[in-house]
């Protein structure tokens, strides 16, 4: 009789262990998807600031724990305008450039390693960058 109870307790313990492992795996999978694969609205524009000092603007098409994929990608280009007066400083002029306008003719999509991203910022609807992108799209 004691042997039978011992076997039943062993089966219950094994069942409880298997059930606990299944619950633990489900929790881990859930956390991985919520932390590393966060959904982003495709129509929102983001600024992506990189560790090399460059910044890009675009729609986040996908992201995971290793990369962020931007579509409709733009960046700021600074040009120095020579001073018209003798002692005046040259004036910087900012231009918003679409990546697809580069000489090598890429598509306006960029896959960026998360190792190089310092931070992301969602652009407000009244952002000057967003307004400039919309103006270029309207041309």
Alpha-carbon span 74 to 130, nearest angstrom: 10
Cα dist from 112 to 58, 61, 103, 109, 116, whole Å: 12, 12, 20, 10, 7
Give the pLDDT of residue 71: 93
* Alpha helix stretches (DSSP H) within the chain: 2-36, 128-138
Residue 55 scores a pLDDT above 80: yes
Query: Average pLDDT for residues 31-41, to the nearest whole number?
Result: 58
The string of pLDDT tens digits covering residues 83-138 is: 777 777 777 778 888 898 888 888 889 999 999 999 999 999 999 988 888 888 77
Give the pLDDT of residue 95: 84
Write down the residue that tokens 């090399």 correspond to.
52
Write down the pTM of the prediction.
0.63
Neighbouring C-beta atoms of residue 45, cutoff 10 Å:
22
Please give the structure tokens belonging to residue 112. Answer: 């960026």
Kindly calculate the radius of gyration of the chain based on its CA atoms and give it in whole angstroms: 27
Least confident of 17-21, 71-75, 112-116: 17-21
Residue 42 scores a pLDDT above 60: no
Please give the structure tokens belonging to residue 124. Answer: 């407000």
Please give the structure tokens belonging to residue 114. Answer: 């998360």
Alpha-carbon span 26 to 7, nearest angstrom: 29
Alpha-carbon span 95 to 77, nearest angstrom: 5
Please give the structure tokens belonging to residue 7. Answer: 């076997």
């Amino acid at each position: 009789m004691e042997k039978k109870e011992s076997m039943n307790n062993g089966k219950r313990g094994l069942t409880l262990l298997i059930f606990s492992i299944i619950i633990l795996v489900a929790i881990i999978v859930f956390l991985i998807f919520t932390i590393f694969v966060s959904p982003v609205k495709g129509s929102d524009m983001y600024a992506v600031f990189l560790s090399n000092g460059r910044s890009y603007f675009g729609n986040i098409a996908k992201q995971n724990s290793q990369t962020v994929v931007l579509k409709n990608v733009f960046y700021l280009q600074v040009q120095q305008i020579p001073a018209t007066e003798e002692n005046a400083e040259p004036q910087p002029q900012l231009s918003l450039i679409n990546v697809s306008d580069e000489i090598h003719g890429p598509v306006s999509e960029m896959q960026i390693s998360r190792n190089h991203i310092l931070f992301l910022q969602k652009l407000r609807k009244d952002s000057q960058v967003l307004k400039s992108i919309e103006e270029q799209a309207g041309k």
